[in-house]
Each structure stands twice: as structure tokens, then as C-alpha cells.
């Protein structure tokens, strides 16, 4: 329905052999946003995502994804979502172009394979066999397959695991470009810098419970935390915690006549806040 979020979860519960995996989770994800689900291994991320994808039954609560219950939705609904798993099946002897042309046949409104190759940066690999692609190139093909049906919602599970920093940055730019096409993206990741760069909002789940939902900057109240201003002079290293670091730096600049020795200003990082939120749940 118009005005409804892309994903709405109320009171979601799932138990395995009397052990709760997801406990009374409430969550809304808006259309067109990139949303990151963070949490340690075993926290309930994968279970939650699989329920939203329609691959796992829930024990309680209500779930609406693109206006439908994933447990009951049909083929038309599945054509509106895309899924990029952490590990996808291989097609080692097919070329990149052959793979995309094959999967395009499954969708009534598939994106043009040549346009997709350009979008994910694989145009020059059209005739390369899949087993000859690098890890980063293979992940780009996975994303192309995930969006070939023009999904309104894309699930990304640990999309850059094993990437080197340069390739990860290139991949982030690709995912950011999908937002411009008004695709809603739900991703799981263990990389906090990835969540901070990509996500409009993040949720932290620990021991099956939702701990906090906010923008990366506001998560856990980190935007309200005091900053630490540090500097080093002939008397040693000094630190001051302050809610107004600009004023503190100005006072130091006046004291040292404009050049504060070894000045640094630090606020709690997203990783600091995340570790505090999950506590001992590892």
C-alpha cells in the first residue's frame, strides 16, 4: 500500500530446539534506503534475513515485505526481490554473457544484459568464463544476477567478504549507484566502515534482540558523546574530554599561538559504539 515501508516487522520470533534465535523484533525499512543489519555471529541476522526472503518460516509475529507476507507470497512477489548470497552457485564453464542471458529469460521485465555488464563494470569480461574471474569480478556478477529482474528490494549477505580494500571501495560505489535507481537494499556485514559508508540507517542485533536502530552517526548516541582533544608538548601528552571540541581547540590555539603540537580530536567510532551495544554477545 502507498506509504507503507518496504519492510515491516512486528514481534518476530524464531526458536531452534527451545533456543530463541530471534526475540520480538520490531523493525521498519523505508523504500529507497540502504539498511545495514549488524551483529556478531549467531546473533540472529541470517535467520531474520531468511524469514524476510521467504526461505524460512517464523514462529511468531507479522512480516510484510513489499506489501506481502513472505511465507505466503507467490512468484510475482519473488520477481520483485533480488538476493545476493554470501556464496552463490558457480557456472564455471559458461561465459559472463551466457550466464546473464540465461537468467534474463526467467523474468518478464529483465534488465538488458549488456546494460548490466556496463553497470557492474564487467563489459570487458563478457566473453570470459566464470572460473577465470577474480573474486571481486565474481561478486560483481553476483550483483548483476541479483538485480537482473529489476528488483525493488535487494538482499546482500556479507557482500565484500574476502575483498582487498581497493576492490571493496569499488564495490561500495556500485552499491551506492543502486540507491540512485531507487532500489531498497538490506545488507548484512561485519565491516563497520562498510556500514558507515553505505547505510542510511543501521540496526544492531545481539542474542536475537534488536539493540538499537539509527543512522551510523547517531547509533548508540555516539553523536552526543564527548570528544577527546589530545596534544603533546614539552610537558608530555594531555587529553581533555569536552562537548565543545571547537572551543577547546580555539583556546589551545590561542595558548600555543596558533600551532597546537600533535593535536588530535577523537569521537567514539562506529566500532566503539557497536562493541559497547553488543556487550558480551560474540
Kindly state whether residues 24 and 120 are assigned to the same domain.
yes
The reported pTM is 0.83
For residue 245, the enclosing domain spans 226-266
Kindly state whether residues 95 and 161 are assigned to the same domain.
yes
**What is the number of domains present in the chain?**
2
Kindly state whether residues 133 and 71 are assigned to the same domain.
yes
* 273 in any annotated domain: no
Kindly state whether residues 70 and 115 are assigned to the same domain.
yes
- Give pLDDT, residue 215: 96
Pairing of strands 153-157, 81-84: parallel
Kindly state whether residues 162 and 27 are assigned to the same domain.
yes
Kindly state whether residues 214 and 97 are assigned to the same domain.
yes
Q: Which of 221, 216, 168 is nearest to 196 (CA)?
A: 216
* 274 in any annotated domain: no
- Give pLDDT, residue 174: 81
- Give pLDDT, residue 179: 81
* 271 in any annotated domain: no
- Give pLDDT, residue 88: 63
pLDDT < 70 stretches in the chain: 1-2, 86-89, 280-282
CATH of the domain at 114: 3.40.50.300
Distance of alpha carbon 223 from alpha carbon 210, whole angstroms: 20
Task: Name the grid cell of 80.
Answer: 520483485
Are 228 and 183 within 8 A, CB to CB? no
- Burial of residue 123 (CB within 10 Å: 0-12, 13-18, 19+) is middle
Amino acid at each position: 500500500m502507498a506509504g507503507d515501508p518496504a519492510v515491516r516487522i512486528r514481534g518476530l520470533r524464531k526458536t531452534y530446539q527451545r533456543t530463541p534465535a530471534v526475540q520480538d523484533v520490531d523493525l521498519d525499512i523505508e523504500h529507497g534506503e540502504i539498511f545495514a543489519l549488524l551483529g556478531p555471529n549467531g546473533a540472529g541476522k541470517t535467520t531474520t534475513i531468511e524469514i524476510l526472503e521467504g526461505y524460512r518460516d517464523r514462529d511468531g509475529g507479522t512480516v510484510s515485505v513489499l506489501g506481502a507476507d513472505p511465507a505466503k507470497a507467490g512468484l510475482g512477489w519473488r520477481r520483485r526481490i533480488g538476493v545476493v548470497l554470501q556464496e552463490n552457485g558457480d557456472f564455471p564453464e559458461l561465459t559472463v554473457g551466457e550466464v546473464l542471458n540465461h537468467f534474463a529469460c526467467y523474468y518478464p521485465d529483465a534488465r538488458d544484459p549488456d546494460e548490466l555488464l556496463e553497470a557492474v563494470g564487467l563489459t570487458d569480461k563478457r566473453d570470459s568464463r566464470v572460473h577465470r574471474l577474480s573474486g571481486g569480478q565474481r561478486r560483481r556478477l553476483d550483483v548483476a544476477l541479483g538485480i537482473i529482474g529489476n528488483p525493488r528490494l535487494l538482499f546482500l549477505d556479507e557482500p565484500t567478504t574476502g575483498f582487498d580494500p581497493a576492490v571493496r571501495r569499488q564495490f561500495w560505489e556500485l552499491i551506492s549507484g543502486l540507491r540512485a535507481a531507487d532500489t531498497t537494499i538490506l545488507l548484512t556485514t561485519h565491516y563497520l566502515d562498510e556500514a558507515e559508508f553505505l547505510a542510511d540507517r543501521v540496526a544492531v542485533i545481539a542474542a536475537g534482540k534488536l539493540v538499537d536502530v539509527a543512522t551510523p552517526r547517531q547509533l548508540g548516541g555516539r553523536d552526543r558523546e564527548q570528544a577527546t582533544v589530545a596534544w603533546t608538548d614539552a610537558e608530555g601528552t594531555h587529553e581533555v574530554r569536552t562537548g565543545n571540541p571547537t572551543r577547546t581547540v580555539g583556546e589551545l590555539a590561542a595558548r600555543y599561538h596558533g600551532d597546537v603540537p600533535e593535536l588530535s580530536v577523537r569521537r567514539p567510532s562506529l566500532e566503539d559504539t557497536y562493541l559497547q551495544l553488543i556487550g558480551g554477545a560474540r
